[in-house]
Amino acid sequence: MKMDFPQVDLPREVLAWTNVTEDVLNIYKQSCRLQACIIAICNEGSMKVSINLLDYEVRPNDIITLLPGTIIQFQEKTEKVSLRFVGFSSSCVGRANLIRAIGDAYPKFMEQPVMHLSEDIASYLKDYFSLLARVSCNDSFEIDPEVADISLQAILTSVRLIYRKYPWGNDSSNRKKEICQELIQLISQHYQTERRVQFYADRLGISPQHLSATVKLVTGSGVLETIAYVVTMDAKAKLKSTHLTIQEIAYSLNFPSASFFGKYFKRYVGMTPLEFRNS
């Protein structure tokens, strides 16, 4: 991961608010890269936001899904705006394998981080966010890490199921999106042993150049970056939630040595495996 933007994390494992206004959003007036995972729903008003350098308009009942590594900037509001949000810190995210929770919806998350919800679905999620807000804002109550992990899994699974129903349309770009979905499924099955673009291109029956161009167009990331996202998510989970040595984790992910694994991890995460484990 490039360290080209200020890194922003959350002070607690789980943090939720029911009424985030421009006073708080002004913190993100400058572009920053999230270390946390944040899901928000617009209560009222509208605003413009830049996500991974692309502009979006956020309106009532729109859901915003921001995965770790997302570059975010709130640009301007067109009227009084209020968001309901829940966020999970890098510590919490580090114990999870997000790609398993997201599954084949990953390309949709990347292509469409802002999506409109029906009134009913929005109200269900808002109620759940409100419950988490009551708990996370109570200074006398500390959310157990296991509860935090389950909450993260529950929300991401809910959002993934919502995205499954998202209409992709019938245009010519459909095949490009299908390729990305198939790629994610293949990576989930083979990332522990295969990190070569050629391997996945062969399995999909297309050239590496075609695969790279398609993934870049749909997700904004390269194939190697997408593979690395899955690999490092698994590595982070093992570093935070197991007592495996770094060498054992390296071998479990088919790296030839702990040193090679360490260089790969630092390239995409910005710190060594040991620094991440101790953070």
Domain spans of the chain, in order of start: 7-164, 174-278
| Whether the Cβ atoms of residue 261 and residue 255 lie closer than 8 Å to each other | yes
CATH class assigned to 7-164 = mainly beta
* pLDDT at residue 173, as a whole number: 60
Report the pLDDT value the prediction gives residue 172, as an integer from 0 to 100.
Answer: 52
Same fold, 7-164 and 174-278: no
Question: What φ, ψ does residue 89 adopt, rounded to 5°?
Answer: -65, 170
Mutual angle of helices 174-190 and 208-219, in 10-degree steps = 100
pLDDT at residue number 34: 86
Q: pTM of the predicted model, to two decimals?
A: 0.67
Q: 152: closest CA among 82, 84, 100?
A: 100
DSSP 3-state assignment of 254?
coil
Give yes or no for a contact between 220 and 213, defined as CB atoms under 8 angstroms apart.
no
Query: What is the CATH T-level fold of the domain 174-278, as seen in this structure?
Result: Arc Repressor Mutant, subunit A (1.10.10)
- The closest alpha carbon to 99, from 151, 156, 150, belongs to 156
Q: Per-residue confidence of the chain (279 residues) as pLDDT tens digits? A: 334 567 788 888 999 999 988 777 776 677 788 889 999 999 999 988 888 767 888 999 999 999 888 878 887 666 788 999 999 998 888 888 777 778 767 777 777 889 999 999 999 999 999 999 998 888 777 788 888 999 999 999 898 888 877 665 555 567 787 888 788 878 888 888 999 999 999 999 999 999 999 888 877 788 999 899 889 888 887 888 788 999 999 999 999 999 999 999 999 888 999 998 887
Cβ atoms of 110 and 218 within 8 Å: the answer is yes
- Pick the closest to residue 155 from 87, 254, 72, 238 (CA basis): 87
Query: Left, alpha or beta for 24 (phi > 0: left; psi -120 to 50: alpha)?
Result: alpha
Q: What is the pLDDT of residue 97?
A: 74
- Measured CA to CA, the distance from residue 274 to residue 262 in angstroms comes to 9
Torsion of CA 63, 66, 72, 76, to 10 degrees: 10
